[in-house]
Amino acid sequence: MLQVSIYRFNPETDATPQMQDYSIDTGGKDLMVLDVLELIKAEHDSTVTYRRSCREGVCGSDGLNINGKNGLACITPLSETVRKNKLVIRPLPGLPVVRDLVVDMSLFYAQYEKIEPYLQNDTPAPAIERLQSPEDRAKLDGLYECILCACCSTSCPSFWWNPDRFVGPAGLLQAYRFLADSRDQATDERLAKLDDPFSVFRCHGIQNCVNVCPKGLNPTRAIGHIRTMLLNRAA
């Protein structure tokens, strides 16, 4: 029997959060963490609350803190995370808890909004599409794949301390995605907005973001590229 411990908090009835334990029969299968949550909800306790949607690592809904490391519950197999038969599931750290494993993502989305995550190009739109050379298109690889699950930003101490000012790894990865796009014309305006002491420069390169990204992306490298662009712009 797998020993599962889940963070429970209902702000309407609980004064403080608490951990609740369950013994789960996995039938000897190497289930995903999300399967275990579904089992608990179906067979033990229907009040356990969490977000989930696609259950295949595409939608980014079920970012959770699993045995101390942020990840997507739907693509984290038990064999990868369970040690000593124990599974501890908490909400993503650093964001306000709405209920149980559901966090309020407003601060995270506000930072995403800040970097203006859309193509800016004032030239007349061509009849079909704005073309890009294969080389220019390749520059977006490792950037466009982000699903905004918030695993990276909520594992970043700089984001914990300054979630209102530091854009965070997810936002900065997307900032670079548009800085690197040959079709975007707002490079200078984008860089000007990132030049303050907080937005980019609170990153101290500890790479928690790289360590947890379920899609294997590297926000630290993107932040390095942004720094280089800021340096070149100022030089």
Partner 1 sequence: MVTQVTSFSRNGLSDWLIQRVSSLILLAYFLFIAVQIGLGVDYTQWRALHDTTAMKVFTLLAVGAFVAHAWIGLWTVFTDYLTEYMLGPIGNIIRPLLQIAVVLALVVYAIWVVQVIWG
Q: Which residues make beta-bridge pairs with 19?
A: 7
Q: Which stretch binds partner 1 (CB under 8 A): 65-73, 97-105, 114-122, 224-232?
A: 224-232
Return the number of the residue (51 or 165) whose C-beta is nearest partner 1.
Answer: 165
Instruction: Tell which positions 200-219 bind partner 1, by CB under 8 A.
Output: 200-202
Which of 5, 20, 26, 162 is close enough to bind partner 1 by CB under 8 A? 162
E strand segments, the chain? 2-8, 18-24, 63-66, 69-72, 86-90, 97-99, 102-103
- 189 touches partner 1 by CB under 8 A: no
- 195 touches partner 1 by CB under 8 A: yes
E strand or H helix that includes residue 137? helix 134-138
Instruction: Quote the CA–CA distance of 183 and 36 in Å, as a whole number.
Output: 44
Which of 41, 114, 165, 215 is close enough to bind partner 1 by CB under 8 A? 165
Which tokens belong to 12? Answer: 């309407």
Instruction: Quote the CA–CA distance of 125 and 203 in Å, as a whole number.
Output: 37
Return the number of the residue (148 or 223) whose C-beta is nearest partner 1.
Answer: 223
Q: Contact residues for partner 1 (CB under 8 A)?
A: 158, 161-165, 194-202, 227, 230-231, 234
